[in-house]
Structure 1
Amino acid sequence: MIFQAGSLLLVIIGAYALKHLHVFGDRDYKVAQGLVFNLTLPCAIILSFATNKHDMKMLWIVLFGFFACAIPLFIVYFGSRGDERNYRAFQMLNASGLNLGAFCLPVVQTFMGASAGLPIIMLDIGNATVATAGSLTITRTLLGMDDSFRSLPMILRLRNIARDFLSSISFDIYMLMLVFMFLHITIPQPIVTLITPFANANAFCTMAMIGLMMEVPDNRKDKVELAKVIAWRAVFGVVIAVAAWTLLPFDERIREIIVLGSFAPITIFSTKFTDSLTGNAKLAGFSLTVTAVLSLIVMTVLHALLPVA
């Protein structure tokens, strides 16, 4: 297990090193980002649905994921009062939301096999309803940012929000798989065979993307704000994990998977929204990398310690 976690961490370090050896450029992470969000992650989602049984009781995990993402967003809004508006936006966007599909899914499947993917995907369906667009809308509205958005008529605001959701291929795939689950539609075996190589590449591409995004900020205030985000996420992670272990009506294996997901890092969408609202791309990328490494360590330790057969 240590070697499995180490191999994932090694991909992050390797991609970061290659960037500093000028094999890759500063913006080349967008190539890996495109591969993950438009190819490997959607295929991994479909494969997990295609190869696992769908108990309707797992819809409780969807609801749990929604609250696990939404509640911290509002707590940080009230808890960050007194800070500069840009840094409040950074804290709200990065202290809430779980990087489940792009990060936790490959990690948990590496630890526990392909069948472990379905609970993470169900958790991410709820999480994604906020993280993929809702967090941006809530943050800029509560903090009074983005005057152009506020000046739009309500119908155009709703249209822009809907476009934010629907333009995410991963979110669209989640919704499609949820429909398949309700209608008891199975994915044909030839499709499963075709997408398997892409799904298997998801872990490598995700870790490479994180390594390529990493860059250490030189601003002391940025580092202080990152420390606040790490502290927020640690508290929320513990609360979400305890709630998952004690409240969810599932066996210990599924509850362990949700506990591991509770300590997932900052979402890719959060880094994108941070860049668009504050213009601080360096802090956004570094924050994702730091929390990804910390999450990998915590998830490895928890997987070793939790009393699951």
Structure 2
Amino acid sequence: MGDVLLKALSFVAIIAVGYVLKRIGFFKAEDAKLLSKIVIYLTLPAALIGGFETFSFSLSLLVSIVVGFVASVILLAVGFLLSRGREGTVRALYGLNLPGYNIGTFVMPFVQSFLEPAGIVVISMFDMGQALWSLGGSYAVVFGSIAGERRVRLRDIVSKLFHSAPFLTYFVMFVLSLCRVRLPAQVFSVAKIFGSGNAFLAMLMIGVMFDLRLERSEIRDVVRILGARYLLNAVFAAAVWALLPVPALVKQVLTVGLFASIPTVTTAYCEKCGCKSSVSGVLGSLSILISLALVLALLLSWS
């Protein structure tokens, strides 16, 4: 219990350090982009490769993909339902911020540091299921619904997925594992060295990105979006524990994944749909706070 609490406080401290360093001018807001590139293209793929060292295929991995996919579809549908009759930019705000999970730079460091190594593969499969939506699918549906004549094609979405370094990494590793192609032990050793810095850099990046600025007129939509998002994901998590015949580790990892914060890429998609960047930015920042509290509480309860 003490070790888990110490790690949890360390994560909070790293986020706080990143935020404070930005406030005093050591970091600039745009520095988060550099940190993001290092995490997404170097440390996170390395951590994913290291997680496959003890990989063995099981039905629970397919279940993880299905959970990520289905949860995202339901949240997208609820987003349209809650914003029906509103103007296009508001529908986009709901449709883009309800679905999607920030796995790579938020959940992965927690799974990597607090749960068993096999958990990395489980959360990667969950991410594979939901990534179709968070990395382009939701944007395609939302943009098509508010623009009508312009639609994003399926092949454009697939192309975007396979230009995502984390997605491509665990897709390749998953295929190699299914084909029983084993990488040399030295590859896993080097990957673990690179991947060991992932948790620190990801948490530091979150601190640098953190920001809270909101007008009173926008509070209602923010409360509705976050309330619906976390309430529904709590229902999904309860269903995972009650209905799925999978090991406890898989249930723990899926629960942590379902309580992930809103993906950072969502803000960019919101801007493309004409949403106010300040509102989507606040949604992302608040979701980090909420998800951080929930995930740490879960991890401490399981220790």
Determine which of 167, 171, 175 is the counterpart of 2:167. 171
**Counterparts of 1:230 and 1:237, CA distance in 2:** 11
Q: Look up the match of 2:266.
A: 270
Q: Look up the match of 2:280.
A: 284
Determine which of 20, 33, 36 is the counterpart of 1:30. 33
Report whether the alignment pairs 1:48 with 2:51.
yes
* CA RMSD, Structure 1 to Structure 2 (Å): 2.1
Determine which of 126, 131, 136 is the counterpart of 1:133. 136
Alignment of 1:72-151 (within 5 A): 72-144=75-147, 149-150=150-151
State the Cα deviation string for residues 158-195 of structure 1 (Å, max 9, x = none). Answer: 44333322221112123212212321222221211222
Using the size of structure 1 for normalisation, the TM-score is 0.89
Does the 8 Å CA contact 1:213/1:285 hold for their aligned counterparts? no
Report whether the alignment pairs 1:247 with 2:243.
yes
Determine which of 187, 194, 215 is the counterpart of 2:190. 194
Moved more, 253-262 or 65-74: 253-262
Q: Which 5+ residue runs of structure 2 have no aligned equivalent? A: none
Deviation at 1:279, TM superposition (A): 5.5
Q: How many residues align?
A: 300
Moved more, 177-186 or 239-248: 177-186
Does the 8 Å CA contact 2:50/2:189 hold for their aligned counterparts? no
Deviation at 1:238, TM superposition (A): 0.9
**Counterparts of 1:80 and 1:296, CA distance in 2:** 27
Q: Decide whether aligned partners of structure 1 residues 69 and 199 sit closer, same or farther in structure 2, where only a CA change above 3 A counts.
A: same
Deviation at 1:228, TM superposition (A): 1.8
State the Cα deviation string for residues 41-76 of structure 1 (Å, max 9, x = none). Answer: 111111111233332542121112111112210121
Q: Which 5+ residue runs of structure 1 have no aligned equivalent? A: 151-155
Using the size of structure 2 for normalisation, the TM-score is 0.91
Does the 8 Å CA contact 1:274/1:280 hold for their aligned counterparts? yes
SS in 2 for 1:133: helix
Runs of 4+ in 1 over 6 A off after TM superposition: none
Deviation at 1:10, TM superposition (A): 1.5
Deviation at 1:273, TM superposition (A): 1.3
What percentage of residue pairs aligned between the two structures are identical? 28
SS in 2 for 1:250: coil
